[in-house]
Structure 1
Amino acid sequence: MTIAVGEALLTVGTDAGINDIKRAVISNMQDWGKRYPHAGYGGMFRHWLKEKNPKPYGSFGNGSAMRVSAAGWLYESIERTREVAKITASVTHDHPEGIKGAEAAASAIFMSRKSFSKAEIKEYIEKEFHYDLNRSLDEIRPEYHMYETCQRTVPEAMIAFLEAEDFEDAVRNAVSLGGDTDTLGAITGSIAEAFYGIPEVLIAECQNRIDKDSMMDILTEFDRETGQQKLKFGKKQF
């Protein structure tokens, strides 16, 4: 679904309105869902994928934050980043917590690629989204279980990033918590990529493991669109 959202945002362009973004995201997610019907979707989302006129269903699951990363890369203000993140979430996850999780993840990506420090990112996320980021992984790990909500996944994923020394360390931190590790890794990794970059050896390994006839085309286009931003961080301004 990360690919689906990224493709949708690329297709409509950075100045698209709310309704155009919604239509593109819905269409793309349903299309990619049909191509990959056994990707471990939740029950409500699986049903949503088959609907002719799909409606949001009040979810606060962590899928909204897991798929939002493209919104953190494509826009040049944090306000626009949050607006688009909210739209991508609201087509399914229209509960306030589902929207908050997507906005928070996209904001952290935006700030990371704009060269904000970890302290600045932490302060902004705590102030704007009221997540408790003052815990350590060692404190979280003993009592952490299989949580699929934004409120029990997004802050933990961010703490995994905040404690990391590089990209791989961030993903290892996330996975070490247990629970919904693919989602934790996706959220943490998306922030860590913007902050640290990804080692070439890991990029090559991932490219060897994904569908080269469809996913790679979208990733290549996305890299072309955002390549200048990835190579050169912008100024510290919203």
Structure 2
Amino acid sequence: MYCALPSPARSFSRLAGAALGTMCGDALGMPVEGWSAARIARVHGRLDRMLPGRLAAGSYTDDSQMMIAILETLAQRGGLDPAYLARRFLARYEPIRGYGGRINALMHRLAAGEPWDRVATDSWGNGGAMRVGVLGVFFAKDRESCRAAALTQCRITHTHSRALAGAAAQVLAVRRAARLGSKGRAPAPGRFVEHIAAQVENLDAHVAGRLRAMPPLPLGDEAAAREGLTRAYACDVSAAEAVPPALGAFLAARDPEQAMVLAVSLGGDADTIGAMAGAMAGAYWGLEALPAQWLEALENQPLGRDAVLELCRNICDENY
């Protein structure tokens, strides 16, 4: 089990910011998942409000549901316990949230009693990265434990080197965002990207190269950033083509709203790219900076917004 250490970067505001940022980006992108950037712009213009899609407006998808299972594991176990986490994935599993066929089959294998470390497949998808952001805040002080925990949780469902590198890149980006935010320092895009790429190169050189393909990102210019990111990346369900544009959306933004609006405007796997950008933005700017109207619109059923906030409070109270 990987246990966290206290850190100024791991405050309630930043942990809850990463968690609720994940949910906001996920819910914002949910109705346009699979759309092209051009179609999103044509139908919605600037998509900056929660809309209904295959789920009700403000609903989260499998991205956030699996993130919530990670929070439950941290709250109950004080660290990343993969066997416990696999059980939480199964307990929280609702096919309606949009799990793919491969994960549906994996959940049936877990339900049949197969061990957590024998059910994953050699997938290069972004599923290990989409849910991992909160670990970047939880392990903000300890980079090696952060990276190791991200890889372990990924291996429950994904074992391909690109999936592992994508999960590591996402968690280390959230960790760096939380640490910079706690010091009031602005991220320098070039240095930020190179720092993350260097940390994952030994896991998968292709993912590191895709990170280094980041286009110029003029701060606050959504149109220019969207054009550059959609030219550079496929923005699809692969880790190599989803994690970098999420990072780019965060680095190009002046605030959390702009980060998530830009992320979901890229099209493709919009809910996941939005969720990952939201985790970075929430960790950097904190819970208080997330748009109040989005938080109000978020799903708030028994395992919704308020329950997630309570999990974050419990985690922070337990570890200080």
Shift of 1:117: 4.3
State the alpha-carbon separation in 2 of the partners of residues 71 and 145 from structure 1. Answer: 26
Query: Does the 8 Å contact 1:167/1:198 carry over to 2?
Result: no
Question: Following TM superposition, by how much is the alpha carbon of 1:143 offset from its aligned partner in structure 2, in angstroms?
Answer: 7.0
Give unmatched runs, 5+ long, in structure 1. 230-238
Establish whether residue 12 from structure 1 lines up as the match of residue 77 from structure 2: yes
In the alignment, the residues of structure 1 paired with residue 246 and residue 259 of structure 2 have an alpha-carbon distance, to the nearest angstrom, of 9
Deviations along 1:156-182, whole A, 9 cap, x unmatched?
Answer: 110111111110010011112111110
Unaligned runs of 5+ in 2: 1-65, 201-207, 217-224
TM-score, reference length from structure 1: 0.84
Name 1:225's counterpart in structure 2.
315
Q: Map residues 1-238 of structure 1 onto 2, 5 A cutoff.
A: 1-14=66-79, 21-33=81-93, 36-51=94-109, 52=112, 53=114, 55-75=119-139, 76-115=141-180, 117-119=186-188, 120-129=191-200, 130=208, 131-136=211-216, 137=225, 138-142=227-231, 145=234, 147-199=236-288, 202-203=291-292, 205-206=294-295, 208-215=297-304, 216-226=306-316
Aligned 8 A contact 1:126 1:133 in 2: no
Quote how far apart the aligned CAs of 1:150 are.
Answer: 0.1
- Residues of 1 paired with 2:233 and 2:167: CA distance? 21
For 1:232, the equivalent position in structure 2 comes to none
Q: Secondary structure at the match of 2:146?
A: helix
CA-based RMSD: 2.4
The structure 1 segments of at least 4 consecutive aligned residues displaced by more than 6 Å after TM superposition are none
**Counterpart of 2:284 in 1: which secondary structure?**
helix
TM-score (norm 2): 0.63
Seq. identity, %: 27
Number of residue equivalences = 222
| 1:165 partner letter | R
